Amino acid sequence: MTCDLQLAPSEGIHQQSNTQIIWSWNAMPIASGYKWHTSNNFAAATDMGTATTKTETGLTTGNSYTRYVWAYNTCGNSQPLVLTGQAFACGGSMTKAHTAGTVAPVNKTVTYGTVTGIPGETSKCWITRNLGATQQANTVNDATEPPAGWYWQFNRKQGYKHDGTTLTPAWTITAIDEDSDWLPASDPCALLLGSTWRIPTKTEWTNVDATGNWTNWTGPFSSALQMHAAGYLSRTTGAITNRGANGYYWSSTQHSTPRGWDQFFSSAGSFQSNDNKAMGFPVRCIRD
Protein backbone atom coordinates (compact mmCIF):
# COMPACT_ATOMS: atom_id res chain seq x y z
CA MET A 1 0.00 0.00 0.00
CA THR A 2 1.40 3.38 -1.01
CA CYS A 3 1.05 6.51 1.07
CA ASP A 4 0.99 10.01 -0.38
CA LEU A 5 2.96 12.41 1.79
CA GLN A 6 1.21 15.72 2.26
CA LEU A 7 2.51 18.78 0.40
CA ALA A 8 2.78 22.13 2.15
CA PRO A 9 -0.21 24.48 1.80
CA SER A 10 0.11 27.81 -0.01
CA GLU A 11 -0.12 31.20 1.68
CA GLY A 12 -3.49 32.94 1.77
CA ILE A 13 -4.35 36.62 2.25
CA HIS A 14 -3.83 37.68 5.85
CA GLN A 15 -6.07 40.25 7.57
CA GLN A 16 -3.68 42.63 9.32
CA SER A 17 -4.66 45.29 11.86
CA ASN A 18 -2.71 47.30 14.42
CA THR A 19 -2.53 44.58 17.11
CA GLN A 20 -3.86 41.49 15.34
CA ILE A 21 -3.19 39.27 12.34
CA ILE A 22 -5.62 36.65 11.06
CA TRP A 23 -3.22 34.26 9.36
CA SER A 24 -4.56 32.42 6.32
CA TRP A 25 -3.48 29.46 4.20
CA ASN A 26 -5.12 27.46 1.44
CA ALA A 27 -6.62 23.98 1.94
CA MET A 28 -4.82 20.97 0.48
CA PRO A 29 -6.80 18.11 -1.10
CA ILE A 30 -5.40 15.20 0.90
CA ALA A 31 -4.72 16.96 4.19
CA SER A 32 -6.28 15.62 7.38
CA GLY A 33 -5.49 18.87 9.18
CA TYR A 34 -3.01 21.65 9.82
CA LYS A 35 -0.63 22.78 12.54
CA TRP A 36 0.45 26.37 13.26
CA HIS A 37 3.31 27.72 15.35
CA THR A 38 5.40 30.80 16.04
CA SER A 39 8.62 28.87 15.36
CA ASN A 40 9.71 26.11 13.02
CA ASN A 41 8.79 23.30 15.41
CA PHE A 42 6.12 20.88 14.19
CA ALA A 43 6.11 18.83 17.40
CA ALA A 44 5.18 21.85 19.53
CA ALA A 45 2.75 23.37 17.00
CA THR A 46 -0.95 24.00 17.70
CA ASP A 47 -3.26 21.55 15.96
CA MET A 48 -5.76 23.63 13.99
CA GLY A 49 -7.83 20.65 12.81
CA THR A 50 -9.22 21.46 9.35
CA ALA A 51 -9.28 25.24 9.95
CA THR A 52 -7.31 27.34 7.46
CA THR A 53 -7.04 30.51 9.55
CA LYS A 54 -5.48 31.40 12.88
CA THR A 55 -6.22 34.63 14.77
CA GLU A 56 -3.26 36.01 16.71
CA THR A 57 -3.85 38.97 19.02
CA GLY A 58 -1.79 41.18 21.33
CA LEU A 59 0.78 42.08 18.67
CA THR A 60 2.87 45.24 18.59
CA THR A 61 1.78 47.81 16.04
CA GLY A 62 4.27 48.14 13.18
CA ASN A 63 6.18 44.95 13.98
CA SER A 64 6.60 42.22 11.36
CA TYR A 65 6.02 38.57 12.25
CA THR A 66 6.97 35.19 10.80
CA ARG A 67 4.84 32.10 11.47
CA TYR A 68 4.78 28.47 10.28
CA VAL A 69 2.04 26.12 9.06
CA TRP A 70 2.17 22.42 8.20
CA ALA A 71 -0.37 20.17 6.52
CA TYR A 72 -0.54 16.59 7.75
CA ASN A 73 -2.23 13.28 7.04
CA THR A 74 -1.72 9.66 8.13
CA CYS A 75 1.51 9.50 6.11
CA GLY A 76 3.17 12.39 7.93
CA ASN A 77 3.52 16.14 7.70
CA SER A 78 4.56 18.54 5.01
CA GLN A 79 7.46 20.92 4.98
CA PRO A 80 6.55 24.18 6.75
CA LEU A 81 4.84 27.02 4.93
CA VAL A 82 6.47 30.25 6.12
CA LEU A 83 3.94 33.04 6.68
CA THR A 84 4.92 36.71 6.97
CA GLY A 85 2.74 39.60 8.13
CA GLN A 86 2.79 42.95 9.88
CA ALA A 87 0.56 44.19 12.68
CA PHE A 88 -0.45 47.33 10.89
CA ALA A 89 -3.58 48.68 9.21
CA CYS A 90 -2.91 50.74 6.10
CA GLY A 91 -3.95 54.37 6.43
CA GLY A 92 -2.23 54.92 9.75
CA SER A 93 1.35 55.84 10.53
CA MET A 94 4.31 53.89 11.84
CA THR A 95 7.48 55.12 13.48
CA LYS A 96 10.79 53.43 12.70
CA ALA A 97 14.13 54.06 14.40
CA HIS A 98 16.76 53.58 11.70
CA THR A 99 20.31 52.78 12.82
CA ALA A 100 23.32 53.72 10.70
CA GLY A 101 25.00 50.69 9.16
CA THR A 102 24.76 48.55 6.05
CA VAL A 103 21.28 49.84 5.10
CA ALA A 104 20.52 53.19 6.75
CA PRO A 105 23.31 55.75 6.14
CA VAL A 106 22.67 57.67 9.39
CA ASN A 107 20.73 57.33 12.63
CA LYS A 108 17.24 58.71 12.14
CA THR A 109 13.75 58.13 13.52
CA VAL A 110 11.06 58.56 10.88
CA THR A 111 7.28 58.45 11.12
CA TYR A 112 5.87 57.12 7.85
CA GLY A 113 2.30 57.76 6.81
CA THR A 114 0.59 55.13 4.67
CA VAL A 115 -2.16 55.20 2.07
CA THR A 116 -4.17 52.73 0.00
CA GLY A 117 -6.58 53.12 -2.91
CA ILE A 118 -3.98 54.58 -5.29
CA PRO A 119 -5.47 54.41 -8.85
CA GLY A 120 -3.91 51.55 -10.78
CA GLU A 121 -2.94 49.61 -7.64
CA THR A 122 -5.89 50.24 -5.34
CA SER A 123 -5.37 47.19 -3.13
CA LYS A 124 -1.75 48.00 -2.25
CA CYS A 125 -0.46 49.98 0.73
CA TRP A 126 2.18 52.69 0.10
CA ILE A 127 4.28 54.91 2.32
CA THR A 128 3.54 58.59 1.71
CA ARG A 129 7.13 59.84 1.75
CA ASN A 130 10.44 58.61 0.42
CA LEU A 131 12.27 56.01 2.44
CA GLY A 132 14.46 57.88 4.91
CA ALA A 133 12.61 61.21 4.42
CA THR A 134 11.57 63.20 7.49
CA GLN A 135 8.76 64.99 5.62
CA GLN A 136 6.84 65.20 2.37
CA ALA A 137 7.92 67.82 -0.15
CA ASN A 138 6.27 71.25 0.01
CA THR A 139 6.49 71.68 -3.76
CA VAL A 140 7.12 69.33 -6.68
CA ASN A 141 10.49 71.03 -7.31
CA ASP A 142 11.60 71.02 -3.66
CA ALA A 143 15.41 70.75 -3.81
CA THR A 144 16.04 70.28 -0.09
CA GLU A 145 17.33 67.16 1.64
CA PRO A 146 14.62 66.37 4.26
CA PRO A 147 11.87 65.28 1.79
CA ALA A 148 14.33 63.59 -0.59
CA GLY A 149 15.24 60.88 1.89
CA TRP A 150 17.95 58.42 1.00
CA TYR A 151 19.22 57.03 -2.30
CA TRP A 152 20.00 53.48 -3.39
CA GLN A 153 21.79 51.74 -6.24
CA PHE A 154 19.89 48.92 -7.93
CA ASN A 155 19.85 45.66 -5.92
CA ARG A 156 22.11 47.14 -3.25
CA LYS A 157 20.95 47.51 0.35
CA GLN A 158 23.26 50.37 1.35
CA GLY A 159 21.48 53.71 1.43
CA TYR A 160 23.14 57.11 0.91
CA LYS A 161 22.32 60.52 2.34
CA HIS A 162 23.30 63.67 0.46
CA ASP A 163 22.72 66.95 2.32
CA GLY A 164 23.73 69.04 -0.71
CA THR A 165 27.37 69.14 0.31
CA THR A 166 28.33 65.86 1.94
CA LEU A 167 27.59 62.28 0.89
CA THR A 168 27.23 59.64 3.63
CA PRO A 169 28.72 57.01 3.43
CA ALA A 170 31.49 57.28 0.85
CA TRP A 171 30.68 56.26 -2.74
CA THR A 172 32.41 52.99 -3.72
CA ILE A 173 30.39 51.29 -6.51
CA THR A 174 30.57 52.90 -9.95
CA ALA A 175 29.30 50.01 -12.11
CA ILE A 176 26.75 47.19 -11.67
CA ASP A 177 26.39 44.53 -14.36
CA GLU A 178 24.40 41.50 -13.18
CA ASP A 179 21.44 39.50 -14.41
CA SER A 180 19.04 40.01 -11.50
CA ASP A 181 15.95 41.85 -10.40
CA TRP A 182 16.09 43.50 -6.97
CA LEU A 183 16.32 40.60 -4.50
CA PRO A 184 14.43 40.57 -1.16
CA ALA A 185 17.68 40.13 0.78
CA SER A 186 18.87 43.55 -0.40
CA ASP A 187 15.51 45.35 -0.54
CA PRO A 188 15.78 48.36 1.82
CA CYS A 189 12.00 48.51 2.20
CA ALA A 190 11.95 45.03 3.71
CA LEU A 191 15.10 45.63 5.73
CA LEU A 192 14.04 48.99 7.22
CA LEU A 193 10.24 48.69 7.44
CA GLY A 194 9.65 44.95 7.81
CA SER A 195 9.55 41.89 5.58
CA THR A 196 6.07 42.63 4.18
CA TRP A 197 7.33 45.82 2.50
CA ARG A 198 9.14 45.95 -0.83
CA ILE A 199 10.09 48.18 -3.77
CA PRO A 200 7.31 48.39 -6.41
CA THR A 201 7.68 46.42 -9.64
CA LYS A 202 7.80 48.03 -13.08
CA THR A 203 4.25 46.76 -13.69
CA GLU A 204 2.98 48.47 -10.55
CA TRP A 205 4.56 51.79 -11.53
CA THR A 206 3.19 51.40 -15.06
CA ASN A 207 -0.32 50.81 -13.72
CA VAL A 208 -0.19 53.82 -11.39
CA ASP A 209 1.29 56.10 -14.05
CA ALA A 210 -1.28 55.11 -16.68
CA THR A 211 -4.40 54.94 -14.50
CA GLY A 212 -3.52 58.14 -12.66
CA ASN A 213 -3.01 59.89 -16.01
CA TRP A 214 0.44 61.09 -15.00
CA THR A 215 1.50 63.18 -18.01
CA ASN A 216 4.12 65.24 -16.18
CA TRP A 217 5.29 65.84 -12.61
CA THR A 218 1.94 67.36 -11.62
CA GLY A 219 0.37 63.87 -11.62
CA PRO A 220 2.66 62.16 -9.09
CA PHE A 221 2.86 65.25 -6.86
CA SER A 222 -0.90 65.89 -6.77
CA SER A 223 -1.62 62.21 -6.06
CA ALA A 224 -1.91 60.86 -2.53
CA LEU A 225 1.72 59.72 -2.86
CA GLN A 226 2.89 63.37 -3.24
CA MET A 227 6.07 62.37 -5.08
CA HIS A 228 8.48 65.12 -6.05
CA ALA A 229 11.63 65.69 -8.08
CA ALA A 230 14.21 64.36 -5.64
CA GLY A 231 16.93 63.92 -8.29
CA TYR A 232 19.61 61.23 -8.23
CA LEU A 233 23.20 60.44 -7.30
CA SER A 234 25.76 60.27 -10.10
CA ARG A 235 27.00 56.74 -10.72
CA THR A 236 30.62 57.87 -11.04
CA THR A 237 30.97 60.15 -8.01
CA GLY A 238 27.75 60.02 -5.99
CA ALA A 239 27.20 63.75 -6.59
CA ILE A 240 23.62 64.97 -6.13
CA THR A 241 22.13 65.76 -9.54
CA ASN A 242 18.84 67.29 -10.77
CA ARG A 243 17.32 67.59 -7.29
CA GLY A 244 14.33 69.88 -7.79
CA ALA A 245 14.28 69.19 -11.54
CA ASN A 246 13.56 65.49 -12.15
CA GLY A 247 12.14 62.54 -10.25
CA TYR A 248 13.60 59.02 -10.49
CA TYR A 249 12.15 56.20 -8.38
CA TRP A 250 13.48 52.66 -8.67
CA SER A 251 11.32 49.67 -9.48
CA SER A 252 12.45 46.19 -8.45
CA THR A 253 12.52 45.03 -12.09
CA GLN A 254 15.67 45.01 -14.15
CA HIS A 255 15.73 46.10 -17.78
CA SER A 256 19.03 44.43 -18.66
CA THR A 257 22.20 43.41 -16.86
CA PRO A 258 23.49 47.02 -16.54
CA ARG A 259 20.12 48.83 -16.36
CA GLY A 260 17.00 48.87 -14.19
CA TRP A 261 13.48 50.20 -14.70
CA ASP A 262 12.36 53.29 -12.81
CA GLN A 263 9.46 55.74 -12.67
CA PHE A 264 10.66 59.03 -14.15
CA PHE A 265 8.93 62.40 -14.26
CA SER A 266 9.72 66.04 -14.94
CA SER A 267 7.81 69.17 -15.94
CA ALA A 268 7.65 67.73 -19.45
CA GLY A 269 6.61 64.10 -18.95
CA SER A 270 6.05 61.03 -16.79
CA PHE A 271 6.90 57.49 -17.88
CA GLN A 272 8.91 54.33 -17.16
CA SER A 273 12.56 54.81 -17.94
CA ASN A 274 15.55 52.51 -17.71
CA ASP A 275 18.77 53.77 -16.21
CA ASN A 276 22.19 52.60 -15.15
CA LYS A 277 21.96 50.38 -12.07
CA ALA A 278 24.86 52.18 -10.41
CA MET A 279 22.91 55.45 -10.22
CA GLY A 280 21.42 56.30 -6.84
CA PHE A 281 17.64 56.81 -6.81
CA PRO A 282 15.15 57.28 -3.96
CA VAL A 283 12.55 54.57 -3.31
CA ARG A 284 8.92 54.39 -2.27
CA CYS A 285 7.80 51.25 -0.47
CA ILE A 286 4.70 49.15 -1.07
CA ARG A 287 3.09 46.11 0.50
CA ASP A 288 0.30 43.79 -0.61
What CATH number did the domain enclosing 73 receive?
2.60.40.10
For residue 159, being part of any structural domain is answered with: yes
- Chain-centroid distance of CA 67 in Å reads 19
pLDDT at 1 over 70: no
- Whether 249 has a pLDDT exceeding 70, the answer reads yes
Q: Are residues 145 and 280 in the same domain?
A: yes
Q: Are residues 50 and 159 in the same domain?
A: no
Cα–Cα distance, 216 to 268 (Å, whole number): 5
Q: What is the pLDDT of residues 40-56, one digit of tens each?
A: 999 999 999 999 999 99
pLDDT level of residue 6 (50, 70, 90 thresholds): confident
- The answer to the question of residue 183 being in a domain is yes
Residues 267 and 148 reside in one and the same domain: yes
Rounded CA-CA distance 271/163 in Å is 27
Predicted pLDDT of residue 2: 65
CA distance 93 to 258: 36
d(CA 198, CA 86): 13
Domain that holds residue 216: 98-115+131-287
- For residue 3, tell me if it sits in a domain: no
The rounded distance, in Å, linking the Cα atoms of 118 and 212 is: 8
What global pTM score does this model have? 0.84
Instruction: Return mean pLDDT, the chain.
Output: 96
- Per-residue model confidence as pLDDT tens digits over 47-103: 999 999 999 999 998 888 999 999 999 889 999 999 999 998 999 999 999 999 999
Is the domain of 189 the same as that of 282? yes
Q: Does one domain contain both 43 and 110?
A: no
Q: Look at 2-11, 24-33, 104-113, 194-203 and tell me which has the smallest mean pLDDT.
A: 2-11
Assess whether 72 and 135 both reside in one domain.
no
Do 145 and 210 have their domain in common? Answer: yes
Closest CA to 91 of 124, 113, 60, 111: 113
Residue 120 lies in a domain: no
User: For the segment 127-170, what is each residue's pLDDT rounded down to a tens digit?
Assistant: 999 999 999 999 999 999 999 999 999 999 999 999 999 999 99
Helices (H), 6-81: none
135: left (phi over 0), alpha (psi -120 to 50) or beta: beta
What residues contact 48, with CB distance under 8 A and at least 6 apart?
Answer: 33, 34, 35, 36, 54
**139 with 226, same domain?**
yes
